[in-house]
Structure formats: structure tokens, C-alpha cells
A and B are shown apart, each in its own frame.
Chain A
Amino acid sequence: MSESLERMLAAYRAVHDGSVLNSSAIERRITASPAVRPASKRLPALLVAALALMLGGAALAATGVAESVVRDWLQGSPSEGPARNVVSPPVVVPRAAVALPGTETSQFTTPSEDPSTHTLEHAAIEEVRPSEPERSRNRGEPRDDAPKPSHAPLVEHSEAALDPSQLAMYRRGLELTGAGRHSAALAVWDRYLERYPSGPLHLEVRFNRAQGLAMVGRFADAERALLPFAQGRYGRYRSGQAAALLHDVRERARR
């Protein structure tokens, strides 16, 4: 094998090292799963769960309870209902606003499907369909590092949710960054987070701010800002990039 290919393979091994995987989190997911029970015991349990869901769903639909619970939850009232079982908060990546500033389209997307819809009922259903990785992550016991369930209103992720001043502020931050004015951009990000701490763009702004802090050499602050992403506090949103950046920031800080 040629020397350059060898170097490439060595680089590949170093970059895609299995040690970056959170092995203890995987172990928790594995041991928390009901799949460890033998099939003979699992099948009746699944049937019972499915029957309970069917009967429960019919009863709830008949009394109108399900609708009111869901609506309460959507409107943000501190219901004891579905929110209790939510394993991670809604994570929204406003793709159009981030990737294509200036366009009129509004394509909001999530890294996986909206995790706020992952309830225990989903987990029971997904037992039958174990091959989908985005869903299998949320099976079993909620992760220890998952944020506490939020009772905040579920954001309507449409263009209406992004008011023009937020978008203007976001674009200004990007422009300043593009022009290399990182301190000014940081001021914009800070102002955004002060005004809209849970606005639709707050995650992206927090990530941009973390990168900005790295750019101006505030490595300790950058590390603090990146840690929640890397540790999965916002689900998987930018967690891989944050971990890589965190590594770089720490390296740079050591020099």
C-alpha cells in the first residue's frame, strides 16, 4: 500500500476513533431496555402493552380527555400529562434561516424527528420496529444527561415563530462574523440571547457564540459554552461538532 494511503488510513483511524463514543451511555440504554428479556417473556408483555394502548386510546378518545391533555400541553399549561414522559426538549434547526439567509422559504427541521413526541407509548410501539436508529436512541430509560422535561409552550415552528427582528439580528451576527468582526458578532449573539433566551434560533446562536468566543481567544468561555452541546444537553444538536471544537479549543488553550 502506498505511503500516502497509509497516512490517510492512520489519520482516518485517529479521527474516527471509537473512544469518542459515549460507551457508558450506550450501556445504560442497553441495560434499561426490555429487550434483554427472552423472547418468550417479551411477546406476552408486548401484546399486553398493545392491548392496553388500544383500550386506553379508545377510552380517552371517547371522553375527550386525550385532546384536552394534548392541547393543554401544546398551549404550555403545566399539565401532568404527556410532558412528563418527554425524554428531551424540542430541538429546532431553522435550516433556511441558517443556511440560506435572505430566502423566503421556511424549512424547519430537526436533527432527528421531533424528540418531544417520544413518549412511553412511542417506546412501546417502537419495540416492534427496532431498526430505526433515531428512534431506538430514545427507547428504554430516559438518559441521565437529558434535560428535565419542559413545560414551556411547544413552539409553532413556522415562519410566524421567527419574527423579523430576530432574523435580522441573526443575519447581522452572521454578517459581522463573515467580516471577521468577531467581538461585534459576539455582542449581537449576547443581545439575542438576552432578548430571546428560548427563541427559535437560540440553539444556533448559542453555538455561534461559542465559536465566536473561540475566535476571539476566550477559550475558557468557549469551553463553557460548548460543553452543554458536547454533553448532549440539547440532544444531539451539534453535539459532534461541539465535541470536536471543544477538543480544538482545549488544545489551543494549552499552548
Chain B
Amino acid sequence: MSSIAFEPELVASEPDHIQGVRNGEGKALAALYREHQACLCSFAARLLADPVAAEDLVHDVFMILPRVIHRYDQRASLKAFLLGIASRRALHHLRTARRRRGLLERFAQLSPYRNVATPEDHASQRRLADSLTAALDRLSFEHRVVFTLCDIEELSSDEVSEALGVPAGTVRSRLFTARHKVRALLAKAGAL
């Protein structure tokens, strides 16, 4: 029976990939993407509540990465660095997502298929999520990002502080305000 031996020199680590991206290697960028796409896709999908805009955002992050990788000093995690890029690039995508939501909502009100073939449990989950999406759409961008990272993605305030490059105290203060606003908006909409 033959055994398969991995040659250590052929297994590139994250620092190798980072160096590769600095050298303009597409394979290294793809490797970093594969490593971090799950976390970024999740954050983008939840921040924007729109899969199309989320895909664009993730794409944007990795398009920008080769240009900004020189700023990464490897003291923080690469995940935090990528989340930071995504947070800074997200505003434009969020506007697009909001516009699309508005259009879809207007269409849904006129569509004869408003309640089409949707199992009850799924519909109820969707209703809850839609209520929260509507509340998040009313938050300021900074509050939305912090709320998404802390309460939806469940990162610690230190991790968020690292990603956004702001003090942990600021993160906590933004989170407090965001939660307060979300509760008030949900209560006003009768969703709480």
C-alpha cells in the first residue's frame, strides 16, 4: 500500500499567499479568497441583505486587496483586515441594495403573487428577517456596520475595533446606540 507524503515546501501558508498577492500572483489571491470567502460572504450578505450587492462587495474587496495589501502589517489578523476593507467599501453597495429593495417592495405590493407557494414557517422567518432589514435600513452606516459585526456576526468588540480601526470604546458606544435604535424602530413598526 502506498502512502501519500505531503511535501512541506509545496504547502503555502497565509504569509506566503500575502507575499504572493504583493507580487501580483493571481493564484495567491485565489488562495486567500478561498480561505476567507466564507466569513466575508456571510458578513456581506448580512450587512447588505442583498445577495447580488453582497457578491459585488466581496468581489470588490479582493479586487482592491492587491493595491492595499502593503498596508497590512500582519499584527492584526488578515480576516480583520479584509472585514475592514469590506466595511469601508460597503456604503456604495448598501445604497444599491436599498434601492433594489425599494423597487422589489413596490413590485411586491402590486404583484398578484405576493403569497405564492411559501411554506408557513419559512414565510414567518422571512417576515422576521424583513422587519429587521427595514430597521437596519434606517440606521446610519456606522451603526449598521457595528450592529452587523457584533450582533449578527457575533464578533467581539475587540475584533470589530481591529477590523474598523476604531477604539473598542467607540465600537461599544456605537453598538449601544444601534441596539437602542433598532429596538425603537422595531417597536414602532409593531415587530417587537
Contact = CB atoms under 8 A, between A and B. Distances in A.
A174 B112 CA distance: 7
Nearest to B124: A11
Interface string A125-138: 00000111110110
Interface in A1-27: 1-2, 4-5, 7-9, 11-23, 25-27
Given A15-B125, A133-B93, A26 B58 contact: yes
B44 A35 contact: no
Contact of B41 (A8, A19, A38, A98): A19
Interface stretch (A67-75, A153-161, A186-194, A246-254): A246-254
Contacts of B64: 130
A231 interface: no
Interface stretch (B10-18, B28-36, B166-174): B28-36
B67 interface: yes
A23 B192 contact: no
A29 interface: yes
Contacts of B52: 236, 239-240
Contacts of B49: 12, 16
A177 to B, nearest CB: 4
Interface in A136-180: 136-137, 174, 177-178
A123 B52 CA distance: 19
B44 A21 contact: yes
B54 interface: yes
Interface of A is mostly: helix
Contact of A21 (B51, B62, B118): B51
A92 interface: no
A215 interface: yes
A252 B118 CA distance: 8
B60 A136 contact: yes
A144 B33 CA distance: 19
Nearest to A255: B119
A244 to B, nearest CB: 8
A247 B51 CA distance: 15
B122 to A, nearest CB: 6
Interface residues of A, number: 62
Interface of B is mostly: helix
Given A13-B46, A20-B51, 12 more contacts: A5-B182, A8-B131, A9-B151, A13-B152, A16-B129, A18-B41, A18-B54, A26-B33, A27-B34, A38-B24, A215-B116, A248-B117
Contact of A133 (B57, B106, B117, B186): B57
A30 B34 CA distance: 11
Interface in A196-245: 208, 211, 214-215, 222, 236, 239-241, 243, 245
Given A21-B55, A252-B119, A33 B63 contact: yes
Given A14-B129, A31-B26, A26 B117 contact: no
Contacts of B191: 8
B83 interface: no
A41 interface: yes
B128 A11 contact: yes
A231 to B, nearest CB: 13
Contacts of B40: 18
Contacts of B56: 133-134, 136-137
A161 to B, nearest CB: 21
Contacts of A2: 183, 192
